[in-house]
Amino acid sequence: MLNTNEKYVFGRDKQESKRLDAQHDLLFKVTENTLIHPKIPKDTIVSVADIATGTGLGSIWLKDTSEMLDKVDGHRCYYHGFDISAAQFPEDSETIAFSVHDITQPFPEEHWNRYDLVHVRLLVAAIEESEYRSAVCNIHQILKPGGYLQWEEIDEDTYISKDNPVFWEVRRCFDASFKAEKKCFQASAKIFEECMGAGYQEVERLTYSSDWDSKLRLETEGRFVAIFETLYASLLLRSGEVNSELAARRRTEELIKQYKSLCEVGNSPPVKLMRVIAQKQII
Ligand SMILES: C[S@@+](CC[C@H](N)C(=O)[O-])C[C@H]1O[C@@H](n2cnc3c(N)ncnc32)[C@H](O)[C@@H]1O
């Protein structure tokens, strides 16, 4: 069922968990197989937090990152996943601690100055434009001096297209609905601006595109179809552009049909992942 009541647009069922896990696999490849940006030193990391972590196999980015980091020099790090809902937390995890927490609220004191790396991904459809400032400040509080924030979003940049009418329509729909819900489609630009204002140093906003590897084309097309089936359909209904779930599904099916025909003639836009990295000052 499409979710129209909650502030959070996506659902939290098994199907959504599977979608997020498949999306994670693609985004890893899009970022040239870097879970963590190369500029962030890995050998000194001993504690990692992932905020808005909740995915199917138990916090997929944090799980993959823990496996990667624990190989770096043989020692185990501390890993903590936070999410506003526990619905997608794994039933048992020996290696990762989990807490329910809203990123827009200050973290409990036990987490202050604790993390070498804080990761956040895909909150564009969840938080309001006015909440980015508190989110960025709350993360600052839990980072150790010299620790890094890495925040990643698929935002408006992905849907800017010169020649793809499906992307024009998706961009129009997302932009109008996010505005109506006081959310921010230009999420990565906003995060960059708030990090600059909050006193982080070495702030960078980077763009990764699936274009770098032609083998990612089919997987990218599949992920866009999944985004249309969830986010586009939901936003049509939430914004009142259509008045029933059936109508939202029909409009989405038409859009997907058009998207697939464009892909068949080679008009297959890349997915872009925007990554902001920022360092808490060393003092
Ligand atoms: C689109 S999912 C992304 C999950 C994961 N970060 C990934 O990249 O696969 C967004 C997640 O953010 C969580 N979320 C929404 N609003 C939040 C908030 N204010 N604070 C913390 N988590 C939030 C949702 O419960 C959901 O698990």
Ligand 1 pocket member 122 (CB < 6 A): yes
- Cβ neighbourhood burial of 226 (10 Å; 0-12, 13-18, 19+): middle
What are the C-alpha distances in Å from 281 to residues 45, 46, 68, 127, 197?
16, 18, 26, 26, 13
Ligand 1 pocket member 231 (CB < 6 A): no
Gap from CA of 182 to ligand 1 centroid (Å): 17
Ligand 1 pocket member 234 (CB < 6 A): no
Atom of ligand 1 nearest to the CA of 59: 5
Q: Return d(Cα 226, Cα 141) in angstroms, integer.
A: 35
Gap from CA of 231 to ligand 1 centroid (Å): 14
Residue 256's closest CA among 174, 153, 169?
A: 169
pLDDT at 249: 96
Under DSSP, the state recorded for 48 is: E
Which residue in this structure is represented by tokens 């993390």? 115
Ligand 1 pocket member 10 (CB < 6 A): yes
Gap from CA of 6 to ligand 1 centroid (Å): 13
Ligand 1 pocket member 17 (CB < 6 A): no
Residue 130 makes CB contacts below 8 A (sequence gap 6+) with: 182
Ligand 1 pocket member 104 (CB < 6 A): yes
pLDDT at 12: 76
pLDDT at 75: 67
Domains and CATH numbers, the chain: 14-279 (3.40.50.150)
pLDDT at 55: 63
- Which residues in the chain come in under a pLDDT of 50? none
Ligand 1 pocket member 105 (CB < 6 A): no
Q: With contact defined as beta carbons under 8 Å apart, do 16 and 49 qualify?
A: no
Q: In what order do the strands lie in the sheet with 272-279?
A: 97-100, 78-83, 47-51, 115-121, 143-153, 272-279, 201-209
Gap from CA of 204 to ligand 1 centroid (Å): 22
pLDDT at 56: 52
Q: Print burial letters for 126-157: b (CB count within 10 Å at least 16), e (below 16).
A: bbebebbebbbbbbbebbbeebbbbbbbbbbb
Which contacts qualify for 71-80: CB closer than 8 Å, 24 or more apart?
72/42, 72/43, 73/43, 75/46, 77/45, 77/46, 77/47, 77/48, 78/46, 78/47, 78/48, 79/47, 79/48, 79/49, 79/50, 80/47, 80/48, 80/49, 80/50, 80/111, 80/115
